[in-house]
Amino acid sequence: MQRTQRITVVGAGLMGHAIALEFALNGFEVRVYDTRAEALADLRDRARQTAAPLVQIGLVAAPDLEAGLARLHPTADLAATCADAEYLVEAVSEDLALKQQLYRELDRLCPPGTIFASNTSSLPPSELGAATSRPDRVLVAHYFNPPHLIPVVEIVLGRETSQATADATAALLRRIGKTPALVKREVVGFVANRLQAALLREALALVEQGVADVESVDAIVRLGFGRRLAVFGPFAIADLAGLDVWAAIARVIFPTLDTTPTPPPLLAERVAQGQYGAKTSAGFYPWPTDRLQAALAERDAELLHRLAADRRRSE
Ligand SMILES: NC(=O)c1ccc[n+]([C@@H]2O[C@H](COP(=O)([O-])OP(=O)(O)OC[C@H]3O[C@@H](n4cnc5c(N)ncnc54)[C@H](O)[C@@H]3O)[C@@H](O)[C@H]2O)c1
How many angstroms separate the alpha carbon of residue 253 from the centre of ligand 1? Answer: 39
Q: Does residue 161 contact residue 135 with C-beta atoms inside 8 Å? A: yes
Phi and psi of 224, rounded to 5°? -110, -110
How many angstroms separate the alpha carbon of residue 94 from the centre of ligand 1? Answer: 6
Phi and psi of 220, rounded to 5°? -65, -40
Alpha-carbon torsion 121, 14, 160, 23, what sign? negative
Ligand 1: residue of 8, 9, 10, 15 to mutate (most ligand atoms within 8 A of CB) is: 15
User: How deeply is 176 buried, as exposed, middle or buried, from its count of CB atoms within 10 A (0-12, 13-18, 19+)?
Assistant: middle
How many angstroms separate the alpha carbon of residue 137 from the centre of ligand 1? Answer: 21
CATH class label, 6-183: alpha beta
Specify the pLDDT at position 1: 72
How many angstroms separate the alpha carbon of residue 6 from the centre of ligand 1? Answer: 21
Specify the pLDDT at position 4: 86
Query: Which stretches of the chain score pLDDT less than 50?
Result: none
Specify the pLDDT at position 266: 97
Residues in the chain: 315
DSSP structure class, residue 3: T
Give the pLDDT confidence of 240-266 residue by residue, as tens digits: 999 999 999 999 999 999 999 999 999
Give the Cα separation of 16 and 20 in Å (integer): 6
Q: Which of 151, 91, 109, 139 is nearest to 307 (CA)?
A: 151
Cβ contacts of residue 154 below 8 Å, gap of 6+? 140, 141, 142, 181, 183, 190, 191, 192
For residue 122, which atom of ligand 1 is closest to its CA?
Answer: 43
Q: Which amino acid is at 137?
A: R
* The domain defined by 194-261 carries CATH number 3.60.21.10: no
Enumerate residues lining ligand 1, CB below 6 A.
10-16, 33-36, 39, 91-94, 98, 102, 119-121, 143-145
How many angstroms separate the alpha carbon of residue 34 from the centre of ligand 1? Answer: 10
Report domain extents, the chain. Answer: 6-183, 194-261, 274-315
